[in-house]
Amino acid sequence: MSVKPIFFALDGKSLNEFEFELKKLKNKIYGVKVGLEMFISEGPKVVTHLKNEGWNVFLDLKLHDIPNTVKEATKSAGNLGADYLTIHISSSKEALYEASVNKNESLKLLGVSSALTSKAIDKETSERVHLEFELAKESNVDGVICPPSEITKSLNIFDLIVSPGIRLKDDLSNDQKNITTPEKAIADGASYIVMGRSIRNNLDYVINELNI
């Protein structure tokens, strides 16, 4: 069975609460996402632990600060062993550039637009997203966190596209408005997708039946 292009979102305070899922998902999916809540609760050691367990780690901290602080935080994330790190594109072109030129070669920097998947995207917002993506590209950012509705339009800017807002067909959307299914996101051109609740609620299906 091939490894599915999925990051499992560890959205919680304790890594222990995901122990069962992590064991089942090992070697079945590409990696895990550590968000701000988990990172603050568990500390930087959570990244080291997951790397030692053989996981690709996506550190979703959405850096947003002055250029020097962003630069040093990016260096620290790379030293921890993180494979992917998010940064707000609105941090400024200078901050994006400082992060991109000071990161470890193995660390991929992912730009985050101000348009999140918790919001519906209209024409004006879509245009803003792509202006932000173009700025990120000019600043040597490796890829982007891309709302599902914008995946196909973003392929002419970035090859590395990570899409959140993924739900299985019969799942509730909950707090997300810009959503799609795993199959459509990958078919549209996403490199990787991020799934949390949909995996926890449908673990065996995702492992054994989801075909992406």
What does each of the 212 residues of the chain score in pLDDT, given as a tens digit? 589 999 999 999 999 999 999 999 999 999 999 999 999 999 999 999 999 999 999 999 999 999 999 999 999 999 999 999 999 999 999 999 999 999 999 999 999 997 665 566 778 888 889 999 999 999 999 999 999 999 999 999 999 999 998 999 877 555 556 889 999 999 999 999 999 999 999 999 999 999 99
Tell me whether residue 62 is one of the annotated catalytic residues: yes
> How far apart, in whole angstroms, are the C-alpha atoms of residue 212 and residue 137?
27
Nearest to 113 by CA among 139, 151, 146: 146
Looking at 62, 75, 153, 177, which residue is catalytic? 62
pLDDT on residue 124:
83
> How far apart, in whole angstroms, are the C-alpha atoms of residue 112 and residue 166?
16
CB 64 within 8 A of CB 85: no
> How far apart, in whole angstroms, are the C-alpha atoms of residue 116 and residue 175?
11
* Superfamily name with CATH number, domain 4-208: Aldolase class I (3.20.20.70)
- Torsion, Cα of 150, 153, 154, 157 (10° steps): -160
